[in-house]
Amino acid sequence: MISELLEKPLASWQGQERYGNELLTCLTIIFKSAGCTWSKCRMCSYRHERYSVQQTPEHLLVHLRAQLAWISQQYASEEYRMVKIFTSGSFFDPDEIPPAFLSDIATTFKGKLIIAETRPEFVNAEVLSPFMEMLDDGSWSTPLYCAIGLETSSDRIREKCINKGFNFSDFKKAASTAHSVGAGVKAYLLFKPLFLTEAEAVTDMKTSIKDAAAHAEMISMNPCTVQRNTEMEYYWKRGAYRPPYLWSILSLLADAPLHITCDPLGGGQNRGPHNCKKCDYEIVQGIRDYSLNADRDLLFALLETACDCKEEWEYILSSEKSYCMPLTR
Q: Say whether residue 44 binds ligand SF4 (CB under 6 A).
A: yes
Identify the residue among 38, 75, 234, 323 touching ligand SF4 (CB under 6 A). Answer: 38
CB of 262: closest distance to Zn ion in angstroms? 19
Q: Say whether residue 119 binds ligand SF4 (CB under 6 A).
A: yes
Select from 118-126, 183-191, 226-234, 308-316 the region that touches Zn ion (CB under 5 A).
308-316
Q: Say whether residue 102 binds ligand SF4 (CB under 6 A).
A: no
From the list Zn ion, ligand SF4, none, partner contacted by residue 279 (C-beta under 5 to 8 A by kind) = Zn ion
Select from 43-51, 95-103, 140-148, 267-275 the region that touches ligand SF4 (CB under 6 A).
43-51
Distance CA 222, CA 148 (A): 12
CB of 36: closest distance to ligand SF4 in angstroms? 3
Q: Give CA separation, 118 vs 247, 261, 273, 305, in Å.
A: 30, 19, 25, 38
Question: What values do phi and psi take at 61, rounded to 5?
Answer: -65, -40
The CB density around residue 176, as the number of other CB atoms within 10 Å, is 12
CB of 278: closest distance to Zn ion in angstroms? 5
Nearest residue to 228 (alpha-carbon basis) of 7, 8, 49: 49
Q: Say whether residue 275 binds Zn ion (CB under 5 A).
A: yes
Q: Say whether residue 227 binds ligand SF4 (CB under 6 A).
A: no
Q: Say whether residue 84 binds ligand SF4 (CB under 6 A).
A: no
Q: Say whether residue 309 binds Zn ion (CB under 5 A).
A: yes
Nearest residue to 253 (alpha-carbon basis) of 211, 214, 297, 215: 297
Listed in sequence order, the residues at least 6 apart from 131 whose beta carbon sits closer than 8 Å to its beta carbon are 102, 105, 106, 144
Question: What values do phi and psi take at 298, rounded to 5?
Answer: -60, -40
From the list Zn ion, ligand SF4, none, partner contacted by residue 275 (C-beta under 5 to 8 A by kind) = Zn ion
Could you tell me if 189 and 148 are in contact, meaning their C-beta atoms sit under 8 angstroms apart? no
Could you tell me if 153 and 212 are in contact, meaning their C-beta atoms sit under 8 angstroms apart? yes
Distance CA 148, CA 252 (A): 20
From the list ligand SF4, Zn ion, none, partner contacted by residue 8 (C-beta under 5 to 8 A by kind) = none
Rg of the Cα trace of the chain?
A: 20
In the complex with Zn ion, the residue whose CB is nearer, 3 or 275, is 275
Name the DSSP letter for residue 140. -
In the complex with ligand SF4, the residue whose CB is nearer, 104 or 151, is 151
Q: Say whether residue 189 binds ligand SF4 (CB under 6 A).
A: no
Q: Say whether residue 120 binds ligand SF4 (CB under 6 A).
A: no
Q: Give the interface with ligand SF4 as residue ranges (CB under 6 A).
A: 36, 38-41, 44, 46-47, 88-89, 119, 149
